[in-house]
Amino acid sequence: MTDVNRAVKLAIGYSTKDEIELTKQTLPRVSKKADIFWADGSMTDEGAALPSQLGITAQRVTGGADAALAWKLSTLLASPNNYTHIALLENDVLLDEDWFEPTFALFEKGKQDGLEVGAVSARSYVDRVLIQRSGYGVMHNLGAGFIVFTREAAEIVLRTFRTNWWPDNVRLFAQLSGIDLRTYAAFRGNEQWVTTDWGWEAQLARHGLAALALTPARCQMIGQKLPLEQQGLALTTEATIGLPHSEATFEFYRDNLAAIRSGAVEITEPSIIVRQNGAMLFFPHQMRYLAGTTWQGISGLRWAQGFGPFGYRAGAGGVSLSVLVSGICSFLVSGGPDGAKVLIQDTRSGFKTEPDLPTEDKGIVSVNVPGTPVPRRITVDIEEGAAFYGLHCNDPQLLDTAFNFNWSQLPEVA
């Protein structure tokens, strides 16, 4: 047994949705290296039966990829086995036979170079490299397809789980490294929302932790409906690895991360809650961060990958939300498949509005509520079928710092 094997107690959260032939190729590459926690969203009988045929118990997780990610992170962190490292793997990532030791060696390589490493991967895409080093890349994105976290890093990612605003990533990495992602990364200079796994490395960097990946990559992407080139992706190879960045660039990034860890420097964004110029945006699964929030009624989960990533759809009898808010705010709602009503009342001023919401194919509606700095309770009654996507507050709000998000808090799939 090598030193790496002795030091690591690894659990892998593995995701499938049918595609049996992919699973049969990718699972054997990891099953002897770690405990497997299988999240399966298969729709066919053959796909659903596969885990038991392979002697592994799988949890059925529906509601989209983000629900599976939340389940994997929550379950692995809560395990009594107290894993030292927590990995996420999707069944279209075929790791090389010898992936394990080179990947875990990145933790020590980073340490030798003065970094504290929170996440590593055997997979690296060309446009996700922030700083190229000898034998590895310091990454601004690893992605959920394959990533290995320390416990601390996995806890940070789960605690801050949400979609992300790309300009926040650009700003953070520009401040810490002096590199402008708008010149080459996937979203260039766009101002747009990006999926949850595009925010993980930014959140880790905000805590002074680096993310590293092997370059060239030690994996293949299999079963792709479109070739990687048509997706705008390219795994790093000997031919595509760029020249190493200057030592001064690396040292600038390294020293900034160290200053964050020591408390000498603070990066406030991207935070758990989306903040812009004092305003705050709470997604449905984050509403209990807002002190004094209560829900009544049954909601159903609606995957909104690009914004949230979860919407909450009102079930039979509707849903009532009660929040304590200071200042002007807006509730983000849609009418569901058939259109619906929402009743919003300010219990202090008497303000009341009951708009007819258009069907969800028309998009999300922002219902504005006036207010003063004096906190007041607002109630929101959402008709069956309508969906709630968030609350935008113009001013900072009181937060319940005891609240921590995990998968068990999500409603059942709508």
Domains of the chain (ranges, CATH numbers)? 3-262 (3.90.550.10), 275-409 (2.60.120.260)
User: Closest by alpha carbon to 155, among 83, 59, 260?
Assistant: 83
pLDDT tens-digit series, residues 11-70? 999 999 999 999 999 999 999 999 999 999 999 999 999 999 999 999 999 999 999 999
On average, the pLDDT of the chain sits at 96
Band of pLDDT at residue 414, cut at 50, 70 and 90 = confident
pLDDT tens-digit series, residues 169-220? 999 999 999 999 999 999 999 999 999 999 999 999 999 999 999 999 999 9
**Residue 289 pLDDT > 60, yes or no?**
yes
Q: Which residue has the higher pLDDT, 7 or 295?
A: 295
Interatomic CA distance for residues 262 and 265, integer angstroms? 8
**Residue 1 pLDDT > 70, yes or no?**
no
**Residue 363 pLDDT > 90, yes or no?**
yes
**Residue 112 pLDDT > 80, yes or no?**
yes
**Residue 400 pLDDT > 60, yes or no?**
yes
**Residue 6 pLDDT > 80, yes or no?**
no
Band of pLDDT at residue 242, cut at 50, 70 and 90 = confident
Lookup: tokens for 402? 């005891």
> Which helix (H) or strand (E) element contains residue 14?
strand 10-16
